[in-house]
Every structure is written in structure tokens, then in C-alpha cells.
């Protein structure tokens, strides 16, 4: 080993340092700047609605049954045309997900027969206490497209009789 060898190594290292200093940084200035997520990202759940504003969730509890972390609690009640939440006879009167238990596996999404529960883009999940980690139906439901489409609402009798819509196989 020559006498100058350590010096050479030092300069080589510094070279990398200078090169990187001039490179475009990869750091995101979170929270001012947010990193976009991938199409299949699994973040906080959203309960979807149909275009007409009715809730897709029919309170079947299949998501709760599929959940390996026992994070979901569903309780169902009966729909009427006077007070309709979702198509068909049954709707979720209570729907809760405990985000501290959830492992974001997406099994609930797979189990849902109406594509009501979908794991969304939101990953900002931190809480000061355990209680606020429980998301209720109101917090999970997507906003209504317009005011007159809120649920529950009065609908024409005998129109929304089917709980499970005809669906295509998912594409992505």
C-alpha cells in the first residue's frame, strides 16, 4: 500500500459527496408535500356509494368474517322504502373499523360482495388515544354526490329490491 493511497480514497469519497450534493433530492417535504401512492396501495378504508347516493354496504358482515385481525364490527338493520340506506332489505346500522388492529391486508375488500369497502389512499393514521382509532360508519362513508342524495332517504317503492348488484370481475 502506497503512502498516498488513503488520501486518494478520501478524495474519491468526497467526489461522491459532491456529486450527490448536486443531484435532485429524493426526500419529500412531508407534511407540506405528500408522496403519491401506487394504484394498488392499501390505505385507510372508504365505504363507497352508488352514483345515486345509496350506500353500497349491505351490512352482511362478510368483511368482518374475513378480517384476520378482527378489526371490523358490523351490525345490520332492515331497510324500508321510507328510510332507505342501501338497495335491498339490509343495511349496516353500525360499521366500525379499529385502525390499530387493521393490518391493511385488504381481505375485507376481497370479501365484500358489493365492492363497498375499499382500501383508499389515506395513510395518515395516528392517534392520541385508542378510542379515536375506531372509525365509525360516518367517518368511513364517502361524501354524498349532492344534498338530495343523502341516506337515509325516501325512495319510490319497489325499485331498490336487489342487495347485490351485477358486477364485472375487477380489472386492476
Partner 1 sequence: MAKQVTLTIDGKQVTVPEGTLVADAAKMAGIDIPVFCHHPKLEPVGMCRMCLVEIGRPVRDRATGQFVMENGAPKIQFMPKLETACTNKVEEGMVVLTRSQKAVEGQKGTIEFLLTSHPLDCPICDKGGECPLQNLTVAYGPGKSRFLYDEKMHLDKQVPLGELIWLDRERCIQCARCIRFQNEIAGDPVIGFDERGRATQIVSFSDPGFDSVFSGNTTDICPVGALTTSDFRFGARPWELQAHASICTQCPVGCNTTLNTRREAKSGGRIVVKRVMPRQNEDVNEIWICDKGRFAYHYTEGKQRLTRPMIRKDGKLTRASWDAATKLAAENFQKAKKNFVILASGRLSNEDLFNLKSLAEHADGKAYIYSHMGGGELTSLVGVGEGTNFGSMGAGTTIVVVASDLYEEAPVWYLRIKQAAARGANLIVMNARETKLDRYASFTVRYAYGDEVKAVSDLAKKGKIGDTFLKSENAVILYGSDGLGVSGSAALASACAKLLHDNGFTGRPNNGLIGVWGRANDQGAWEMGFEVEEDLAKAFKGKTVYIAGADPVADDPKLAKALEGAEFVAVQDVMTTATTEIADVVLPAQAFTEREGTLTSGERRVQRFYPAVPVTGEAKADFAITSQIARHMGIVLEGTSVSAVFDILAASVKSFEGLTYARLAEVRPQWPIVGRSDLYYGGTTYENTQGMGAQLSAAAGRGEKVSIPKVEKEALVRPKEKELLAVPVTKLYDRGTTILPSELLHERIGEAKVILHPETAKSLGVEEDQKVSVSFNGVNGEAAVKLTDTISVGVALIPRSMGLAIREPVAVKVK
Could you list the residues that contact partner 1 (CB under 8 A)?
58-62, 64-65, 73, 75-78, 88-90, 93-94, 113-114, 161-164, 166
H helical segments located in 23-124: 62-66, 107-111
Is 112 a binder of ligand SF4 (CB under 6 A)?
A: yes
Angle at 43 between CA 122 and CA 50, to 5 degrees: 80
Angle at 121 between CA 117 and CA 125, to 5 degrees: 90
Binding segment (CB under 6 A) for ligand SF4, from list 15-23, 62-70, 136-144, 150-158: 62-70
Candidate list 49, 54, 60, 160; residue touching ligand SF4; CB under 6 A: 60
Q: Cβ closer to partner 1: 50 or 123?
A: 50
Candidate list 54, 102, 140, 141; residue touching ligand SF4; CB under 6 A: 102
Which of partner 1, ligand SF4, none binds 117 (CB below 5-8 Å, type-dependent)? ligand SF4
The rounded distance, in Å, linking the Cα atoms of 88 and 160 is: 6
H helical segments located in the chain: 5-22, 62-66, 107-111, 137-140
Which of partner 1, ligand SF4, none binds 69 (CB below 5-8 Å, type-dependent)? ligand SF4
Per DSSP (E only), the strands in 33-137 are 45-47, 72-78, 90-98, 117-119, 134-135
Which of ligand SF4, partner 1, none binds 44 (CB below 5-8 Å, type-dependent)? none
Of the candidates 72, 127, 116, 78, the residue with the CA atom closest to the CA atom of residue 95: 72
Which of ligand SF4, partner 1, none binds 57 (CB below 5-8 Å, type-dependent)? ligand SF4
**Coil, strand or helix at 13:** helix
- Give the residues lining the site for ligand SF4 (CB under 6 A): 57-63, 66-69, 71-72, 74, 92, 97, 102-108, 111-112, 114, 116-117
Amino acid at each position: 500500500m502506497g503512502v498516498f493511497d488513503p488520501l486518494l480514497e478520501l478524495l474519491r469519497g468526497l467526489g461522491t459527496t459532491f456529486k450527490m450534493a448536486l443531484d435532485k433530492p429524493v426526500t419529500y417535504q412531508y407534511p407540506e408535500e405528500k408522496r403519491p401512492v401506487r394504484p394498488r396501495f392499501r390505505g385507510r378504508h372508504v365505504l363507497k356509494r352508488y352514483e345515486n347516493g345509496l350506500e353500497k354496504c349491505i351490512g352482511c358482515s362478510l368483511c368482518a368474517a374475513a378480517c384476520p385481525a378482527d378489526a371490523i364490527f358490523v351490525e345490520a338493520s332492515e331497510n324500508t322504502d321510507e328510510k332507505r340506506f342501501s338497495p335491498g332489505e339490509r343495511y349496516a346500522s353500525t360499521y366500525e373499523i379499529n385502525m390499530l388492529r387493521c393490518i391493511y391486508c385488504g381481505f375485507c375488500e376481497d370479501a365484500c360482495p358489493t365492492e363497498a369497502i375499499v382500501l383508499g389512499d389515506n395513510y395518515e393514521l395516528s392517534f392520541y388515544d385508542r378510542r379515536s382509532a375506531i372509525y365509525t360508519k360516518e367517518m368511513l362513508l364517502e361524501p354524498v354526490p349532492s344534498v338530495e342524495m343523502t341516506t337515509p332517504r325516501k325512495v319510490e317503492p319497489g325499485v331498490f329490491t336487489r342487495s347485490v348488484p351485477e358486477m364485472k370481475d375487477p380489472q386492476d
